Amino acid sequence: MCRIDTNYDDTMTEQAFLDGYNPHDFPVVLVTVDTVLLTWHEEQLKVLLVQRASHPELGKWGLPGGFVNQAQDHSLEASARRSVAAKTNVEPPYLEQVCTLGSPERDPRGWSTAVVYSALMPHCASTPFVESVANTQWQPVNQLAQLEIAFDHRQGIETAIERYKQKALYSFVPVFALPELFTITDLRKVHEALIGTAIQRKSFIRRAEASQMFIDSGDVRSERGRPAVLYKAKPAIGGYRFVRNIEL
Amino acid sequence: MCRIDTNYDDTMTEQAFLDGYNPHDFPVVLVTVDTVLLTWHEEQLKVLLVQRASHPELGKWGLPGGFVNQAQDHSLEASARRSVAAKTNVEPPYLEQVCTLGSPERDPRGWSTAVVYSALMPHCASTPFVESVANTQWQPVNQLAQLEIAFDHRQGIETAIERYKQKALYSFVPVFALPELFTITDLRKVHEALIGTAIQRKSFIRRAEASQMFIDSGDVRSERGRPAVLYKAKPAIGGYRFVRNIEL
DNA sequence: CTAATAGTGTCTATTAGACATTATTGT
DNA sequence: ACAATAATGTCTAATAGACACTATTAG
């Protein structure tokens, strides 16, 4: 059978069972929580990676995260938020669970699982305070092939990006990778980077208007050409869905 | 910082590090893999539940699954497949990871996580062979409010069903809850049960034709009224997506 | 003025929903 | 014949893509 519960006895109370239960009697599965933190910066999608300063996989680039801290973490999401805050000193405006990886081979320390979260946030300087010697950097996702990635974190990154690609087709969730004020063209470029094709400007603007999820800030941004209106997103934008997907 | 790696030393080899590493030196997180197994039977969506025959939560209804078996399971998905096979003696045609629940309170044995998978399959008799005394039954999902559900498995079930509700809007994935041969009306009823509203027959048939994912079996099923054509689904149906969602 | 970018007008093809109509069975 | 269910015909409204056109800035 599946459960390895021992000492099965119909007449035993739950308390008596728990008194006799020691989790160290069983083979241990290691549990980490790691986060794929993405942002939009310099016309590119970038992911925050940490160069590992300890074994195993020393020197390779990995996702921020680590073992659940039983003293501090009251949930998996709390663990993800803690490790993001440690690297960026910022609360990400969008965070979701992506997948859980697990096998006996992925970590040399033994059978392990990584609960992978993903967050989107405005670009900020990484590691604004020096708390560790670890090298933390925003890496362009298009150039990850040239980096040595620790464990199976490359798979976690790919799964997260694939998820956002789907979301880019039916929602404005990618907006959370932008600063508070952004232009519709900024947002369209993020969507285009995710789905890998151009989107008609008119179509994208129509969707934005139909959603009623964008507030005209009153400001504009002028670089080359006609100035672009800067918008803010309503908080409910994360829940908005198109009825019709962007076509590929 | 986040990692609780100890013995940090730049000059140590990875092997020396691993030799000194004992997972039992750290607080243990328990890991179970549990599966929300759904099917369509008697015009209802049903979930396979197991009445727990051991502590904790003895007597309550829980998801089939259990601790990762390090001897048998080479992955999380393998663990899910093993526990499904133990209860149904069948390989489910559709299986995906849904979410991972984790907290210090969800299991009295300590900080624990449950990796929740969900599967769809044709209805079959539960526990066709008597391997345990556990009571395994298909329970209508509309009547779960009246059952005592173990741990936070109710949340896992709700998350899985919500996921399938979304999939019912943009795919034919719910087809995997039906037998090999089914009518388009059968499939429409599954979709309607998931999304909670009626779907126009004509619209649904149009989507089915446009997808080219259905093979006319040549047979029909006659109950009352005009006989309905029985179809088979092409294997690729799991990957098919509507460009336009079913509207609510 | 020109280049560059933002934003609008508008045509057309597609298609979902609505619902009426026809088809095919059992009794 | 009638009830019941399956399957089709067809009208209309909505809207995405395409692309031409206008607007507003810098230099």
Which residues face A48 on adjacent strands? A138
Backbone angles phi, psi at B116, to 5 degrees: -100, 120
A210 touches chain B (CB under 8 A): no
For B74, the 3-state DSSP assignment is coil
- Condensed to tens digits (0 to 9), the pLDDT of residues B118-176 reads 999 999 877 654 555 578 999 999 999 999 999 999 999 999 999 999 999 999 999 99
H or E segment to which residue B39 belongs: strand B30-41
Nearest CB to B31 within list A53, A75, A113? A113
Question: Please, which positions of strand D sit below 7 A from a protein CB?
Answer: 3-10, 15-20, 23-26
Contact A116, A154 (CB under 8 A): no
What's CA B21's distance to the chain center, in Å?
36
A144 touches strand C (CB under 7 A): no
Give the pLDDT score at B4: 39
The answer on pLDDT for A105 being more than 70 is yes
- Condensed to tens digits (0 to 9), the pLDDT of residues B191-241 reads 999 999 999 999 999 999 999 999 999 999 999 999 999 999 999 999 999
Name the closest residue (CA) to the C1' of nucleotide C22: B226
pLDDT, averaged across chain A:
90
Which value, in Å, is the radius of gyration of the alpha carbons in chain A? 22
Give the pLDDT score at A4: 39
Token code pair at residue A86? 């440690």
Pairing of strands A44-51, A30-41: antiparallel
CB contact under 8 A, B2 and A111: no
Give the pLDDT score at B248: 78
Question: Which residue would you say has higher pLDDT here, A176 or A18?
Answer: A176
- Condensed to tens digits (0 to 9), the pLDDT of residues B65-81 reads 999 999 999 999 999 99
Whole-structure pTM value:
0.91
End-to-end CA distance of chain A: 47
CA A53 to C1' D15 (Å) is 54
Nearest CB to A3 within list B12, B23, B67? B67
- Condensed to tens digits (0 to 9), the pLDDT of residues A40-84 reads 999 999 999 999 988 898 999 999 999 999 999 999 999 999 999
Contact A39, A120 (CB under 8 A): yes
A58 touches chain B (CB under 8 A): yes
A203 touches chain B (CB under 8 A): no
Question: Of B109, B103, B33, which Cα lies nearest the Cα of B64?
Answer: B33
B14 touches chain A (CB under 8 A): yes
Contact A38, B79 (CB under 8 A): no
The answer on pLDDT for A146 being more than 90 is yes
CB contact under 8 A, B4 and A67: yes
Nearest CB to A110 within list B1, B23, B83? B23
Distance from the Cα of A13 to chain B's closest Cα (Å) equals 8
Q: Which residue of A has its CA nearest to B52?
A: A3
Question: Which residue would you say has higher pLDDT here, B8 or B156?
Answer: B156
Distance from the Cα of A22 to chain B's closest Cα (Å) equals 8
Q: Which nucleotide is nearest to A200 (CA to C1')?
A: D17
Give the pLDDT score at A54: 86
Handedness of CA A207, A209, A215, A220 (dihedral sign): positive
Question: Which residue would you say has higher pLDDT here, B3 or A214?
Answer: A214
